Amino acid sequence: MTAALILGLASPVVCAQLSTSILPARLAQGSPILIQVKATARLVALSGEWMGKRIYFAEENPKPGAGTGASKGFSKNSPTIWFAFAGVALDTPVGSYTLKLTGKDAKGTEVSGSEIVRVEASHYTTVELKVAKEFTQPDETTQKRIAEDQKLKHEVFERADHGPDTPLRLWQGSFVAPIPNTASDGFGTRRVFNGELQSQHQGLDFHAATGTPVHAANGGKVVLARSLFFEGNCVAIDHGEGLLTIYMHLSELKVKAGQSVQLGEVVGLSGATGRATGPHLHMGVRWQGVYLDPAQLLTLKLP
Cβ 140 to Zn ion, closest distance in Å?
Answer: 27
Report CA 181 to chain centroid distance, whole Å: 21
Instruction: Please identify, among the stretches 88-96, 97-105, 196-204, 252-260, the one whose residues bind Zn ion according to the rule CB under 5 A.
Output: 196-204
Positive or negative: CA dihedral 302, 262, 167, 52: positive
The one among 59, 205, 241, 265 contacting Zn ion by CB under 5 A: 205
Taking the C-alpha atoms of residue 86 and residue 31, their distance in angstroms, rounded to an integer, is 9
Cβ 193 to Zn ion, closest distance in Å?
Answer: 12
Site string for Zn ion, 68-107 (x = CB under 5 A): ----------------------------------------
Cβ 178 to Zn ion, closest distance in Å?
Answer: 13
Nearer to Zn ion, 203 or 240 (CB): 203
The DSSP H or E segment spanning 173 is none
The verdict on 275 binding Zn ion (CB under 5 A) reads: no
Site string for Zn ion, 138-177 (x = CB under 5 A): ----------------------------------------
The verdict on 59 binding Zn ion (CB under 5 A) reads: no
Longest dimension (CA), the chain: 69
CA proximity to 20, closest of 76, 101, 74: 101
E-state strands within 40-189: 43-50, 53-56, 58-59, 81-87, 95-105, 110-119, 126-129, 183-185
How buried is 14 (Cβ within 10 angstroms: 0-12 exposed, 13-18 middle, 19+ buried)? exposed
Site residue total, Zn ion (CB under 5 A): 3
The one among 30, 282, 287, 293 contacting Zn ion by CB under 5 A: 282
Taking the C-alpha atoms of residue 156 and residue 145, their distance in angstroms, rounded to an integer, is 16
Cβ 252 to Zn ion, closest distance in Å?
Answer: 18
Point out which residues bind Zn ion (CB under 5 A).
203, 205, 282
